[in-house]
Amino acid sequence: MSERSPFYQVEPIRPEAHLFRVTLTIPQPSAEGETLRMPAWIPGSYMIREFSKNVVEICASQNEAPVALRKTDKHTWVSAALEEELPLIVEILVYAWDLSVRCAHLDQSHGFFNGTQLFLQVVGREGLPHRLEVLRPQGESYAEWKLATTLRADGRRGVDKAGFGRRIADSYDELVDHPVEMGCFASLRFEAGGVPHEMVITGQADFDKGRLQEDLARICETQIALFATPAPFSRYLFMTMAVGDGYGGLEHRASTALICSRKDLPAPGAARRDEAYRVFLGLCSHEYFHAWNVKRIKPAAFKPYRMHEENYTRLLWVFEGFTSYYDDLALLRAGVISIEEYFGLLAKTVTAVERNTGRLRQSVAESSFDAWTKYYRQDENSPNAIVSYYQKGALIALGLDLTIRAKTDNQYSLDDVMRHLWREYGEDSAGVPEDAMPGIIKTATGVDVRREIARWVDGCEDVPVERLLKPFGVTLNRKPGSVLTGLGIRTRAEGSVVRLANVLDEGSAQKAGISAGDELVAVNGLRVTPANLETVLARYPHGTELDVVVFRRDELLRFQIELRAPRIEECELKLDAKSPVRVTKSRVTWLGVK
């Protein structure tokens, strides 16, 4: 342990006021002063979030004498000159009332934090070991609280039986990559690949613990087997917050933070896995796959992370898109969903990509680079302007997988690419260079995919999913979507009000002049509500000119809008029953189902 290692103490001092007190001790400070910086974003969520905005108070001292701190920008403080032999003590109060996987949350029921919201970075000491002590809140009502994290204990007696106490990280980057949950949570444990795994669930929820435990174990085993090496962690933790309505996840090197609706957890005694539970398992699978793909196999641009500014890369289609391909595929290979259910999920991805014209304007490479300003800051025009590197990235992964398999008679696949990435670009590498993927794929499989990547990744061409699936005995059919697509609109309900969420490019609503944000009041003299809108529109044949009345702000406006035929956008995938035996074997090999 370096004598210059920073030491942090975290105490939930007033849960009812949502306040953490964080005390940072900097031994042997520089005589010229120390520079302290709060991260502006958290890895895995590519948006500047300004965590410094939650710092309520900050002060510094040496030997109990105040030390002046000068703020030099929105998240950086520089201390006055210091006595080198005296430790610098910096104390901050952090407001924690963001119930998400990205930030921090504290009340009388539980506490959760990511280090990026609580821990000031001591500039110049990031590579040193960092120590942490987390204290239990004061008061009898917190006597039963436990703490869950994968940050290792500082020595044999570093933590008590409940998990509170001292922990240690090899660097600042590692310190902030182990979120902490505390409270009276439920837990389940299992083993996968010889590694202990645990899920802790905070929030009131009644669920089938045995089924969840069994399904997670199968998914984790499947993913560890894919990489054909031992898991890259000695322990893994799923940290889940169950709420009335919520969904999200954020990956970390040995854990993930999840938020879900209570209905997403498996109901006790249910005969089958329902759709909500399948979605939750897909979320768990996605974040778990990230333990390899993005937490250890990283773009070179992320090595190291610079958490005070944007880190630009054009490769998120690989790190999020490939992960999005394997998350549902792992469910199938683990045996927790059927082939038909898997094709249903894949069809939804195809539909989601093809229904937005933004895919024809922005490539996934551009989408990756612009994540900071476009993908994570979507507005009403986003369907017309951007493409999802998650969803189209997943289709690119599918397209590359099928292309590799077709050109090598199933001797190689995208699985070989992932294993090559793991061997050559894992934890101790310099990261994946921006233009390296065509070469990586050829080295791993012998297949030249430069043309496909130029068209699907750097260009805006659709992945020809229908053509690529056909030799594998799978057909893709398309059918019309909702009647609303005949107007080129998407709506959202606000109580009894119909609000236009999006007006799509080249639709009749846009041509007539209707705008996103307008309140739809009436069609042909009849009042419309969220409950009756589609029924009202369905009464009119295609080509009918509708008299549509809206409120724009407080002004009543009238438009004449043609009701066109619904857009062809709903997709369906099916196995081809007439497929020959040879193709059937190829199909099974692709899916990884025995």
CATH number (domain holding residue 161): 2.60.40.3650
Question: What pLDDT score was predicted for residue 327?
Answer: 98
Question: Do 148 and 195 belong together in one domain?
Answer: no
Question: What pLDDT score was predicted for residue 3?
Answer: 85
> What predicted TM-score, i.e. pTM, was given to this entire model?
0.96
Question: Do 172 and 30 belong together in one domain?
Answer: yes
**Domain-embedded: residue 580:** no
Question: What pLDDT score was predicted for residue 581?
Answer: 45
Please list the pLDDT of the chain residue by residue as tens digits (594 residues). 578 999 999 999 999 999 999 999 999 999 999 999 999 999 999 999 999 999 999 999 999 999 999 999 999 999 999 999 999 999 999 999 999 999 999 999 999 999 999 999 999 999 999 999 999 999 999 999 999 999 999 987 799 999 999 999 999 999 999 999 999 999 999 999 999 999 999 999 999 999 999 999 999 999 999 999 999 999 999 999 999 999 999 999 999 999 999 999 999 988 889 999 999 999 999 999 999 999 999 999 999 999 999 999 999 999 999 999 999 999 999 999 999 999 999 999 999 999 999 999 999 999 999 999 999 999 999 999 999 999 999 999 999 999 999 999 999 999 999 999 999 999 889 999 999 999 999 999 999 999 999 999 999 999 999 999 999 999 999 999 999 999 999 999 999 999 999 999 999 999 999 999 999 999 999 999 999 999 999 999 999 999 999 999 999 999 999 999 999 989 999 988 776 544 555 556 678 765
Question: Do 179 and 237 belong together in one domain?
Answer: no
Alpha-carbon span 261 to 264, nearest angstrom: 5
**Domain-embedded: residue 582:** no
Percent composition of the chain: helix, strand, coil (DSSP 3-state, to 5): 30, 30, 40
**Domain-embedded: residue 593:** no
**Residue 495 Ramachandran class (φ > 0 left, ψ -120 to 50 alpha, else beta):** left
Query: To which residue do tokens 């002590």 refer?
Result: 133
**Domain-embedded: residue 578:** no
Question: What pLDDT score was predicted for residue 271?
Answer: 84
Residue ending a domain, among 291, 315, 332, is 291
In angstroms, the first-to-last Cα distance of the chain is 50
Question: Do 286 and 297 belong together in one domain?
Answer: no
Question: Do 246 and 150 belong together in one domain?
Answer: no
Residue ending a domain, among 238, 259, 291, is 291
573-588 pLDDT per residue, tens: 998 877 654 455 555 6
Q: How far is CA 563 from the centre of its chain?
A: 38
CATH number (domain holding residue 525): 2.30.42.10
Alpha-carbon span 533 to 527, nearest angstrom: 9
Question: Do 234 and 300 belong together in one domain?
Answer: no
The pair of three-digit structure tokens given for residue 41, joined into one six-digit string: 């974003």
Question: Do 509 and 551 belong together in one domain?
Answer: yes
Question: Do 202 and 150 belong together in one domain?
Answer: no
Beta pairing class for 474-480 and 110-113: unpaired
Question: Do 376 and 246 belong together in one domain?
Answer: no
Q: What is the tally of structural domains in the chain?
A: 4
Question: What pLDDT score was predicted for residue 440?
Answer: 98
469-508 pLDDT per residue, tens: 999 999 999 999 999 999 999 999 999 999 999 999 999 9
**Residue 497 Ramachandran class (φ > 0 left, ψ -120 to 50 alpha, else beta):** beta
**Domain-embedded: residue 592:** no
Q: Where are the beta strands (DSSP E) in 85-232?
A: 88-95, 104-106, 110-113, 121-122, 130-134, 146-148, 165-169, 180-183, 186-192, 195-202
Question: What pLDDT score was predicted for residue 244?
Answer: 94
**Domain-embedded: residue 16:** yes
Question: Do 214 and 89 belong together in one domain?
Answer: no
CATH number (domain holding residue 457): 1.10.390.10
**Domain-embedded: residue 571:** no
* DSSP alpha helix (H) spans, 87-208: 115-118, 172-175
Question: Do 156 and 119 belong together in one domain?
Answer: yes
3-state secondary structure of 7: strand
**Domain-embedded: residue 221:** yes
Question: Do 471 and 494 belong together in one domain?
Answer: no
Range of the domain at 259: 185-291
Residue ending a domain, among 262, 291, 320, is 291
